[in-house]
Structure formats: structure tokens, C-alpha cells
Structure 1
């Protein structure tokens, strides 16, 4: 996954029930425990989502 054009990164909630693009300045303030998935390749992301 690559960063979207406005600089946001793709994050997952700790329980992996929600995923969303967040601006890097917003994430530490509003979602400090969310996990950055932006740099995961497809295989890593699938394993992360499915818990495999």
C-alpha cells in the first residue's frame, strides 16, 4: 500500500475492526494506538488482517 496523495497513511484499529486513511498529524492525537499498515505489502497485510 502506498501513501495517498494528501500524505495520509493507512491505519488499523488495535482490534483490526476498522481501517482508515489518517493524516500523520491526526493519528497520534486521535488514534495513538492504531497500527500503520501503509508499508505492508499485500501478503503482510493479508496476514495482519486475518491474524495468520
Structure 2
């Protein structure tokens, strides 16, 4: 159950960031690149956790 809780946390963070997507897209391409890198790190953490 603890593992499921940890896996749900990044999902909620991703959903929160996607709600800000329209604003960040107009901000700068670098902001999008940074968010992509953060997502990649979260995915790698989940895969290494399993």
C-alpha cells in the first residue's frame, strides 16, 4: 500500500503541472524543457522503485 501511495503522488504533481501548461507554453521553450526533464526524473524514479 505504501508503494501505491508513492506512485500516486507523482501523478497528482503531473496533473497539477498540466493545468499550468497553457501558461508555461507561452513563457519559454526552456520552461517546457525543464518540465520534461522533471517528468523524466520522476519516471526513472518509479522504474527504479519497481
Would the TM-score normalized by the shorter structure come out above 0.5? no
Identify the structure with the greater helix proportion: 2
Give the TM-score of the pair, scaled to structure 2.
Answer: 0.32
Identify the structure with the greater strand proportion: 1
Larger Rg: 2
